Structure 1
Amino acid sequence: MNENLLNDTVDVVSYSINLSVVNLSSQQIQGMTEVRFTTPLSNISYLPLALKQLQVDSVKTDSYGPLNYTHTADLLHIQLGQPISAGDTSLVRIYYHGVPFHESWGGFHFSGSYAFNLGVGFESIPHNLGKAWFPCNDNFTDRAFYEYRIRVENDKLAVCGGLLRSVSSMCDGTKEFYWKSDRSLPTYLASVAVGPYVMLSDTFPGTEQDVPITWFVRPQDTARVNGSFQNLKEITHIYETCFGPYPFQRIGFTGTALGAMEHAENIAYPNGSINGGLSDEWLYAHELSHMWFGNKVTCSSDADMWLNEGWARWCETLYREHLYGEVQARGNMRSLAREVLRYAHISEGGYLPLSPIPSNLTYGTHVYDKGGMVTHALRGYLGDSLFFNGIRAYLDEYAYQPASSYDLRDFLSQYTNTDLTGFFDFHVFGPGFNHVSVDSFHVTPAGSHFDVEVFVRQKLKGAVIPAENCRSELSFMSHDRIVETHTITFSGWQGSSVFQLPFSPALVMADLYERNGDATTDNYQTIRATGLYDFPDTYFKMDVINPGDSAFARVTHHWVAPDGMLEPLPGLTLSDYRYWSVEGIFAEGFQATGRFTYNRGNALDNTLITSSADSLVILFRPDAGHEWQSVPFSRQGPWQLGIIYVPNLRPGEYTLAIGDELFVNAGDQEPGNVSLLKIIPNPAADQTEILLNRPETGRLTIHDSTGRTVYHKEVSTGDKSIRVNISGFINGNYLVNFVSRQGARHAARLIIAR
């Protein structure tokens, strides 16, 4: 079917859908749809519509009687009785019947005593499936008004969009429900559901008018509605406050065997989610937000689906912020970002722009989850006042119309007086993610204040060209933990700016409040007691042994490659995927052990750890101006998955790395170890003794975690022990390696800790 043919030829004004859904066991429908339409063209002698799988019985009009038509595949081609010109209005009635189409999710479904439609299909391309149950101009841009007359058996109800105007008895064991909507919609948002429903009702006191609420649910679910929807009014109020008045006549939910689908005023909602609890509250909050994003303003094509689904995904965070607080909201967005950054490019074959998105990924991870991240980042970029005022104005400007990503960019740029070209070019029209970090800062006293020059850097994940007009919040924290936040804007790989502060900062942190939507997942905690502290979504935990007075700790998991070695060493490979930073203000006496998770099988370290022969180490540097160095560590778990423990955790950056073959099988010394080598003491400070259980001629070497040889000695057959002065070695993990004259190799790990 040529979708462009329909779009260019037809502008449907209204649909009057008459549908008979009786004897559900036959899984057939019978219908007559009256299509009132106009055209932008001149002398059009035909009407193209879409109708899938159903059989057309006849096409009629008041003026010319039966009309000729052809119905091939999904295209219904109707010959008009007389050509019409631009601006003229005409009407046809199509009579049809049959078994309606459905795929695994979308289409028209029968489920026991129930029948219902879902307006889009995930597998069908194009995705619109209004054509599964009525003839229509089936796309995202053509909007029309709807009325529905649905005939069902007396023991059933029929629910559609709009308001219920009447119920009429047909005196044959059936009745007809008449619903009408006064809001224009694209076809995929039209809806019908039939079954032995029970209706529950309430009223939402909206900002402009009272809005009726209805639930049509199975009889066994009626007692669960209040528990599942206990916060519905408050969530609707949140959306009204942020986006403007509720844009439709009714708030409606109908229980269905499959869902959820944002049909206007009649959301198809899974029966299993009406469970009496709040476990799926996020789901109806998502669908409800579509009344603004997707229904009031609809994406102009499936290539811009993030304008519907990405914004609705972000609303799952927004409602939590207002209902449960910022901590829960940040946690929700952080876990979303973690999965996008970890896996979206793997599951969908690469780092993709949000627009245009390929049709086979219209309802995929990039659209929903990266779309949610980018919406969140746009809010952070503009700030709340400009963002929310701009979005309310945008929704009013494009009310009941389609809009594209360019429309959104241009409108918000003009309304907020902020050029959003750089933001949209990178985050919407380009692939991947960017990453802003603080390299260093310099403080200059200036009378009663301090001038702080901050140097920042932009890295990329899955992109090539850095963002122009890149913007990030910088939070300055004093030694007594006073925080002042400013914004830096720069283009290219690096930038700097001077900020005037009333104090000399101890820390300068990029995006402390997680508003950038960038390639990091991070959080912070105030630590006042001993114990194990989890930093969710960072793959890090901190085992605090002594908190001192109290400490502020922030851990960031960077989803980009760490800087390489200042002087590259053969045989040492740093992670190409991620690293950590630990920032904080730690009181004297603070002591903790860091727990860093490694995982080859979870799309984390699969490009670094390739086999059991790899020797995994962890490296440290205080900041970007220092070289990576070894630190004491131990490892728990098999080679594929486990935890690296770093005692005496220090502020700075940490990265995983693979050493060369010298590190293979250099496990920690444990009681009962039958290796030729034994090290006492271990860990050691200034002196250590290496015992040879079976003395033989060979060469003994000690290597730091970068693979560099720091000690060597030729060993004779009579040497049973070798004392080594290690006072000049820095703290860290070292490999003790002995190679006999016959080529046998033995290795053990030495930890130096002071």
Structure 2
Amino acid sequence: MRTVFLLLFCFVISNTKAGNNPNLFRASNERSDTIDIIHTTISLDLSASASTQQIVSCCKAKFVSLMNNVNQINFDLLKLPVDSVVDSNNQNLLFDYSDSLLLKVFLSTTLNSGDTSIVSIYYHGHPTLDVTAGGFYIQPPYFFNIGVSYDLVPHTFGRSWFPCFDNFVERSSYEFFIKSPSSLKVLCNGALIDTVNNGNSTTTWHWKLDETIPTYDASVAVSDYTIVHQNFTGLNGTIPVLLAAHASDTQSVKNSFIHLEDALHCYEHYWGPYKWNRIGYNIMYFSGTGGMEHATNIAYPHIEITGNTLYESAMAHELSHQWFGNLVTCKSDGDMWLNEGWATFNEYLFEDWLYGISAYKSYMQKDLEYSLHFAKYIDNGIFPLGNLPNTDTYGYTVYWKGAGAVHSLRSYLGDSLFFNCVKSYLSDHQFSAQSNLDFKNYLENCSGIYLTDYFNDWIFNTGFSQFSIDSFSVSPNGGWNDVSVYIRQKTNESSHYFHNVPLEITFMNNNWDKVTETVLANGPCTIYKTKIPIFPDYITVDLNQKIADAITDDAKIIKTTGVNNFVNGKMNLNVQTISDSAFVRVEHNYVYADGFKTPHPSLHTSHERYWKVDGIFPSGFDSKATITYNGTSPSQVSLSSGAYLDDELITNSEDSLVLFYRINASNDWQIETDISLSTQGSVTNKTGQITINHLKKGEYALGIRQWNKVDSILPVITDSCTIVIGIKDNFHFNSDEIIIYPNPAGDSFFISGNRKTISFLEIFDGSGRKIETKILDKGSDNLELKTTGWLNGLYFLKISQSNGEFLVKKIIVMK
């Protein structure tokens, strides 16, 4: 489901929480351990609903007992009067529906494990709607359902129009007999079997879905539709595509869905065959809800039918749910990122498929900013992805932080394992419900990679990590360069430091030659030692944006004077002088700026953000740079605003604002005086701009002068990088004699150098287990070692000489 706030881009902050009435929580997963509903037939009469505002229905449930001595079956049904309940012999059954929430049906015979039975429930009434969105809508000539509820618990909302086990784990095949006025068309899940003209200006439509789906996926959509018929030829053959809209909108639908086939090819490529017998989108001419991924019968808002591709990512989002959500379903509300986080991530894949990796990164960075900047205000709190409270199931945390977690998982596994293991997961667990831990266990078994740190940091933890290059040192060594890189980690609302995060470190010289290596960053500070063939003038972390940490950034090649907008870096450059091409990276860090090394009681640095500017600047490069400050905290959140960025900092008049600068973390902050402050006509509205007249490499942070301001406590930093967590190479003989490359390695790597004696090679995995031994003959040849059967991760190579001396080198395998 792609929620409506994607369309409106504004919110009202409220303390209203979903599920305030705990008595509404009836459909526990445990009920599905007792009885399994295997087929559901819904006969729905809408022929008079336009005038009565009611539905008349019969729901026939075929079920199997999973245990002995079962004599009762309980259905969730929300405030729809029940007329009668009968068994397969049309004999009346006793029932209790006194609370209008739980229908208790008393069976005529006791069932044992494996026994099947059928009950038919006759009911009518006006369906209950969720306050925000969800339920069965009667708005002639539209009759349709949205299968989830934002506010009620459980969020599955099949019970709003038919009796069911309304949880995420219960799956059933479905059959629909829908009677409607003959002027309208009916679309449900699956394939159309037939239509019957009843001779009284009504028609009964028979639809059937053989595959099993959860209750929230069951769907009906009725209106004066015109159907656009298309076909998709995929991995499982030709599949019909039905796009239902008003006749006047059919061309706009075709134009808006021009890349639907591309999206299908994209998702089949990455995730395997489309497993359903139809592809369908029904346009909803009703405001107040977003799209809903009903299997084969997607509900799609009219506002997103623009006649162009403006909202094609929403189309792709709902389509991807046919794999993530419908094929494999989250087991509970607390596992919802497995549905929505992955569907949002699939928008990035779709953009990459069509427009290239830059489009992928642009979407990822936008959602990362939303998650860092706005999520806690819209979601009314900060939550982990895993076991998220059901009060916040459909918030920013699930969609955008969830997508960032998926994006980061690619780096933990490497693309080959990431795509192959997830594709296998979808195939092996098709038509079932899975939890966070189920998913973790599957990935670990498939990849062989230990993912406890990943899940503890990204899924079961609040907030974000942030990584930066604190400092580095370089020592030329025999044509190569020994480099020590100090990587510092800060956190944003996280309860702990992240561990074993695979970070790319990029080394660049003044000729723009680059070397990129991967290091497992761990804890507050990691020292990474390596040997590279270039002298690095610039070192940066995560240049390719492979980790969704608390940084949004842009890297650009600038060749001419003029304006360059670093959207993600939140800085605009106006280049005044340039003699040659410049490589400029601007990072906007959503973490605290360090405090002063020498205290200044009246000066305060931002605890919310700071900037880092770096790169390769040619001689004479000169640029102005403008940053915007915004300390407002309105009740209505607009995703296009800069609100909340500086609300904790600006507690004084804006003319007390200052801009701090330092070259790097080993230096103390200094007030940057070569700036222009524009309060934009008011020193009290907390918005304005600061222009840096001559931009320099280094770090910038907003600050304010205020004697009586009390800052929150920052971590104590006694040096630029005081705590070292990492593993150094051990050199017990001249390491220049042995070179290991490439590092990280893929399917193989080489050991090169002049071995003066016969040597003995031992290879250990990250846990210290010896996995291979080999004799290295004396000489200077290159020895290639295959990594076949090796799992991605850190390995140690111990090379021993006959005189007892040895060296230990580390290598990272990333296939």
Show the counterpart of 1:561: 592
2:77 corresponds to 1:51? yes
Report if the CA contact (8 A) 1:614-1:660 is conserved. Answer: no
2:343 corresponds to 1:309? no
Report if the CA contact (8 A) 1:600-1:606 is conserved. Answer: yes
SS in 2 for 1:65: coil
2:61 corresponds to 1:19? no
SS in 1 for 2:575: strand
SS in 2 for 1:109: strand
Show the counterpart of 2:657: 616
Amino acid at match of 1:165: I
Show the counterpart of 2:116: 89
Q: Cα offset for 1:594?
A: 1.7
Show the counterpart of 2:259: 231
Q: Cα offset for 1:497?
A: 1.9
Show the counterpart of 1:269: 300
State the alpha-carbon separation in 2 of the partners of residues 472 and 159 from structure 1: 49
Report if the CA contact (8 A) 2:317-2:344 is conserved. Answer: yes
State the alpha-carbon separation in 1 of the partners of residues 266 and 535 from structure 2: 39
Report if the CA contact (8 A) 1:111-1:257 is conserved. Answer: no
Counterpart selection for 2:129 from 74, 87, 102: 102
Q: Cα offset for 1:232?
A: 0.5
Show the counterpart of 1:467: 498
Instruction: After TM superposition, list the pairs within 5 Å mapping 1:41-190 onto structure 2.
Output: 41-63=67-89, 65-71=91-97, 72-103=99-130, 104-190=132-218
Show the counterpart of 2:704: 658
State the alpha-carbon separation in 2 of the partners of residues 411 and 62 from structure 1: 41
Show the counterpart of 2:692: 646
Q: Cα offset for 1:491?
A: 2.0
Report if the CA contact (8 A) 2:217-2:294 is conserved. Answer: yes
Residue by residue over 1:732-752, the C-alpha shift from the partner in whole angstroms, topping out at 9 and shown as x without a partner, is: xxxxxxxxxxxxxxxxxxxxx
Amino acid at match of 2:486: F
Report if the CA contact (8 A) 2:378-2:395 is conserved. Answer: no
Q: Cα offset for 1:234?
A: 0.6
Report if the CA contact (8 A) 1:221-1:275 is conserved. Answer: no
Counterpart selection for 1:365 from 382, 396, 399: 396
Amino acid at match of 2:705: G
Instruction: After TM superposition, list the pairs within 5 Å mapping 1:396-407 onto structure 2.
Output: 396-407=427-438
Q: Cα offset for 1:254?
A: 0.7
4+ residue runs over 6 A deviation: none
Report if the CA contact (8 A) 2:147-2:292 is conserved. Answer: yes
Q: Cα offset for 1:297?
A: 0.5
Show the counterpart of 1:605: 646
Report if the CA contact (8 A) 1:381-1:472 is conserved. Answer: no
Percent sequence identity is: 38
Residue by residue over 1:649-703, the C-alpha shift from the partner in whole angstroms, topping out at 9 and shown as x without a partner, is: 110001111124699xxxxxxxxxxxxxxxxxxxxxxxxxxxxxxxxxxxxxxxx
State the alpha-carbon separation in 2 of the partners of residues 371 and 47 from structure 1: 37
Counterpart selection for 1:192 from 220, 244, 251: 220
Counterpart selection for 1:6 from 27, 31, 40: 31
State the alpha-carbon separation in 1 of the partners of residues 377 and 689 from structure 2: 24
Residue by residue over 1:538-577, the C-alpha shift from the partner in whole angstroms, topping out at 9 and shown as x without a partner, is: 2211110012211010000000001221112221111111
Counterpart selection for 1:485 from 516, 531, 539: 516
SS in 2 for 1:3: coil
State the alpha-carbon separation in 2 of the partners of residues 352 and 469 from structure 1: 22
State the alpha-carbon separation in 2 of the partners of residues 508 and 351 from structure 1: 33
Show the counterpart of 1:572: 603
2:477 corresponds to 1:451? no
SS in 2 for 1:573: strand
State the alpha-carbon separation in 1 of the partners of residues 581 and 697 from structure 2: 15
2:676 corresponds to 1:634? yes
Q: Larger Cα Rg: Structure 1 or Structure 2?
A: 1
Residue by residue over 1:253-312, the C-alpha shift from the partner in whole angstroms, topping out at 9 and shown as x without a partner, is: 011134410000000011222221111111111100100110000000011111111111
Report if the CA contact (8 A) 2:80-2:100 is conserved. Answer: no
| CA gap 1:613/1:619 in 2 versus in 1, 3 angstroms | closer
State the alpha-carbon separation in 2 of the partners of residues 163 and 341 from structure 1: 43
State the alpha-carbon separation in 2 of the partners of residues 579 and 371 from structure 1: 25
Show the counterpart of 1:379: 410
Report if the CA contact (8 A) 1:214-1:253 is conserved. Answer: yes
State the alpha-carbon separation in 1 of the partners of residues 184 and 257 from structure 2: 24
Report if the CA contact (8 A) 1:36-1:92 is conserved. Answer: yes
State the alpha-carbon separation in 2 of the partners of residues 237 and 121 from structure 1: 31
Amino acid at match of 2:481: F
Q: Cα offset for 1:328?
A: 2.0
Residue by residue over 1:690-743, the C-alpha shift from the partner in whole angstroms, topping out at 9 and shown as x without a partner, is: xxxxxxxxxxxxxxxxxxxxxxxxxxxxxxxxxxxxxxxxxxxxxxxxxxxxxx
2:61 corresponds to 1:35? yes
Report if the CA contact (8 A) 1:614-1:661 is conserved. Answer: no
Report if the CA contact (8 A) 2:652-2:706 is conserved. Answer: no
SS in 1 for 2:339: helix
SS in 1 for 2:374: helix
Report if the CA contact (8 A) 2:601-2:707 is conserved. Answer: no
| CA gap 1:86/1:331 in 2 versus in 1, 3 angstroms | same
Report if the CA contact (8 A) 1:381-1:516 is conserved. Answer: no
Report if the CA contact (8 A) 1:614-1:659 is conserved. Answer: no
| CA gap 1:650/1:219 in 2 versus in 1, 3 angstroms | same
State the alpha-carbon separation in 2 of the partners of residues 266 and 330 from structure 1: 30
SS in 2 for 1:310: helix
Report if the CA contact (8 A) 1:21-1:194 is conserved. Answer: no
Residue by residue over 1:84-120, the C-alpha shift from the partner in whole angstroms, topping out at 9 and shown as x without a partner, is: 0111111111111111221241000022311000000
State the alpha-carbon separation in 2 of the partners of residues 32 and 510 from structure 1: 61
Amino acid at match of 2:252: R
Structure 1, 167-176 or 554-563: larger mean CA deviation = 167-176
Name the structure, 1 or 2, with higher relative contact order (CA <8 Å, separation 6+). 2
Structure 1, 101-110 or 155-164: larger mean CA deviation = 101-110
Show the counterpart of 2:576: 545
Q: Cα offset for 1:614?
A: 6.1
Show the counterpart of 2:371: 340
Structure 1, 608-617 or 173-182: larger mean CA deviation = 608-617
State the alpha-carbon separation in 1 of the partners of residues 298 and 408 from structure 2: 28
Report if the CA contact (8 A) 1:433-1:460 is conserved. Answer: yes
Amino acid at match of 2:185: L
Amino acid at match of 2:108: G
2:385 corresponds to 1:354? yes
Amino acid at match of 1:88: D
Structure 1, 300-309 or 33-42: larger mean CA deviation = 33-42
Q: Cα offset for 1:459?
A: 0.7
Aligned length: 663
Structure 1, 297-306 or 370-379: larger mean CA deviation = 370-379
Counterpart selection for 1:435 from 458, 463, 466: 466
Amino acid at match of 2:690: I
| CA gap 1:295/1:550 in 2 versus in 1, 3 angstroms | same
Report if the CA contact (8 A) 2:133-2:149 is conserved. Answer: yes
Report if the CA contact (8 A) 1:34-1:93 is conserved. Answer: yes
Q: Cα offset for 1:347?
A: 2.7
State the alpha-carbon separation in 2 of the partners of residues 600 and 235 from structure 1: 41
| CA gap 1:231/1:613 in 2 versus in 1, 3 angstroms | closer
SS in 2 for 1:12: strand
State the alpha-carbon separation in 2 of the partners of residues 41 and 598 from structure 1: 64
Residue by residue over 1:391-422, the C-alpha shift from the partner in whole angstroms, topping out at 9 and shown as x without a partner, is: 10111121111011111111112211211110
SS in 2 for 1:453: strand
| CA gap 1:484/1:211 in 2 versus in 1, 3 angstroms | farther
Q: Cα offset for 1:635?
A: 0.4
SS in 1 for 2:511: coil
SS in 2 for 1:466: coil
